[in-house]
């Protein structure tokens, strides 16, 4: 019996499919037919009320799935990031003298829509220290001038040419001045690489950079930490602060120029600096900080360029994390030309 019913159902379905619809005759829009079929299975139909006529265009539009927004394809971004790369520059030493005959290498990053590729362009500075780098089209330009007896002393050339600030590089009447340090002669330097994990205290903590240890007094650097009670973390952004002082000397913020500085400043030192980490304006909150300094200590007998990385303890019973890295001249000289981390000539 079941078999007979199945055969009858298949025959009836085949008969209905064979009947031509308005769409097959070139009549009504098949989209509207689909809407009508939807209406046929609507609650009003099931309640015995026949749907009359066809759906209105407005109702049809409401029943259609919303159009998908056109996503920006990667290749659409290529014209935005592949722009003319042109740099007019001038090389000069720390005394303002032009540097002739330096080889300048330009590294151009080209974005093809899927990945970045690199192309090299070379040129040489003339008798006035002037040069031109024409890198065609790309996005980012890296610049590395090299000459024996000199080291790179500024990182102001190159950059992201898809941004407005790089357009100033293409002015031949206003070349970008790039500093190179004329080496005077290296001196022995002390390498600094020290790490500490200490319990919190609001008393000054003294560090001897030469011996590489925490001391009860003296040394070269003193830090003082103040924090709120309880948990200090990203979920509990309570205020804390860090005071940094040079012992018997002073310090100057390096603003990230440690690698391109070959002599300590002659002046401008201050006894210390305080960093406040807070959610209250104008401050910003963070659980740690990384800062660079030029430090004069021990009555001018030690000159250091230093990177301090500090992390506050989240729980009162946890440890604070402190690290110092850099170099120090312990001979009373401001010379840092022996620093192995700096940009040296070939």
Q: Tens digit of pLDDT for each residue in 165-193?
A: 777 788 999 999 999 999 999 999 999 99
With cut-offs at 50, 70 and 90, classify the pLDDT of residue 78: low
At residue 338, does pLDDT exceed 60? Answer: yes
The per-residue pLDDT for 67 is: 52
At residue 68, does pLDDT exceed 90? Answer: no
The pLDDT of 28-55, averaged and rounded, is 39
On whether the CB atoms of residues 188 and 338 are closer than 8 A, the answer is: yes
Comparing 81 with 39, the larger pLDDT belongs to: 81
At residue 198, does pLDDT exceed 60? Answer: yes
The per-residue pLDDT for 12 is: 52
Residue 50 and residue 196: Cα distance in Å, rounded? 83
The pLDDT of 250-269, averaged and rounded, is 94
Radius of gyration for the alpha carbons in the chain, expressed in angstroms and rounded:
36
Comparing 342 with 4, the larger pLDDT belongs to: 342
The per-residue pLDDT for 42 is: 42
Q: CATH number for the 75-182 domain, one of 2.60.40.10, 3.40.50.1820, 1.10.645.10, 3.20.20.70?
A: 2.60.40.10
Name the percent of the chain lying above pLDDT 90. 64
Residue 294 half-sphere exposure toward CB, CA atoms < 13 A = 23
The per-residue pLDDT for 343 is: 76
At residue 76, does pLDDT exceed 90? Answer: no
The per-residue pLDDT for 44 is: 40
The pLDDT tens digits for 216-246 are 999 999 999 999 999 999 999 999 999 999 9
The per-residue pLDDT for 83 is: 87
The per-residue pLDDT for 346 is: 58
Domain locations along the chain: 75-182, 192-329
> How much is the pTM?
0.71
The per-residue pLDDT for 4 is: 43
The pLDDT of 242-252, averaged and rounded, is 98
Q: Quote the mean pLDDT of the chain.
A: 82
At residue 23, does pLDDT exceed 90? Answer: no
With cut-offs at 50, 70 and 90, classify the pLDDT of residue 79: low
Comparing 309 with 77, the larger pLDDT belongs to: 309
The pLDDT tens digits for 274-296 are 999 999 999 999 999 999 999 99
Beta bridge partner(s), residue 325: 193, 307
The pLDDT tens digits for 109-132 are 988 766 678 899 999 999 999 999
């Amino acid at each position: 019996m079941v078999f007979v019913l199945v055969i009858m159902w298949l025959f009836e379905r085949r008969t209905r499919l064979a009947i031509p619809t308005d769409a097959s005759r070139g009549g009504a829009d098949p989209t509207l037919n689909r809407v009508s079929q939807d209406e046929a299975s609507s609650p009003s139909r099931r309640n015995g009320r026949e749907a009359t006529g066809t759906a209105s265009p407005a109702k049809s539009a409401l029943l259609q799935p919303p159009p998908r927004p056109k996503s920006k394809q990667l290749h659409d971004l290529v014209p935005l990031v592949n722009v003319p790369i042109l740099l007019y520059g001038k090389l000069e030493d720390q005394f303002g003298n032009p540097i002739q005959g330096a080889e300048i290498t330009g590294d151009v990053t080209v974005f093809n829509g899927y990945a970045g590729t690199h192309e090299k362009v070379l040129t040489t500075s003339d008798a006035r220290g002037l040069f031109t780098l024409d890198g065609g089209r790309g996005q980012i330009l890296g610049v590395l001038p090299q000459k024996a007896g000199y080291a790179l002393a500024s990182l102001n050339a190159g950059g992201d040419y898809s941004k407005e600030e790089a357009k100033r590089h293409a002015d031949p009447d206003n070349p970008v001045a790039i500093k190179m340090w004329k080496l005077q002669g290296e001196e022995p330097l002390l390498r600094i690489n020290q790490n500490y994990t200490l319990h919190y205290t609001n008393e000054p903590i003294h560090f001897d950079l030469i011996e590489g240890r925490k001391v009860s007094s003296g040394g070269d650097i003193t830090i003082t930490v103040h924090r709120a009670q309880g948990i200090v973390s990203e979920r509990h952004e309570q205020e804390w602060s860090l005071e940094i002082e040079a012992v018997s000397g002073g310090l100057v913020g390096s603003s990230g120029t440690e690698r391109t500085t070959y002599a300590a400043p002659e002046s401008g030192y201050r006894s210390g600096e305080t960093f406040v980490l807070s959610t209250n304006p104008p401050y910003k909150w963070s659980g740690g900080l990384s800062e660079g300094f030029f430090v004069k200590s021990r009555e001018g007998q030690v000159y250091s360029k230093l990177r301090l990385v500090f992390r506050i303890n989240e729980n009162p019973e946890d440890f604070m994390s402190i690290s110092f890295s850099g170099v120090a001249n312990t001979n009373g000289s401001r010379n840092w030309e022996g620093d192995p981390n700096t940009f040296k000539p070939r």
